[in-house]
Amino acid sequence: MFSSSANAATESSKNPAKMENTMTADQRDAKVKDIQRRVEEIKSMDKSKLTKQDRKELKKELKEMKKQANAVGAGGVYLSVGAIIIIILLLILIL
């Protein structure tokens, strides 16, 4: 039932970092919108009528889409606690 979309998700996510490097900004936006659309479809489904195997495939598909979304949407700045403390100390010394 969901194998075609799950297979497509796993094929395109074999190396998410490599996929991100070759995509343009428009392609990234389109990919994120596709992922969001699919997640909304899954949320709106009546999962009580699915078999155990179908629910397992949905869960696997969602995990793969999360990996893709993280790879495509990456680019934030992360600071460790030590870096924040050093920045605060430098600001105190300068000011």
3-58 pLDDT per residue, tens: 444 444 444 445 554 555 677 878 888 888 898 999 999 899 888 888 999 999 99
Question: In which residue are the tokens 């343009």 written?
Answer: 24
**pLDDT for res 15:** 54
Is the per-residue pLDDT at 78 higher than 60?
yes
| String of DSSP letters for 78-89 | ---HHHHHHHHH
Burial of 32 (0-12, 13-18, 19+ CB in 10 A): middle
**pLDDT for res 6:** 46
pTM above 0.75, yes or no: no
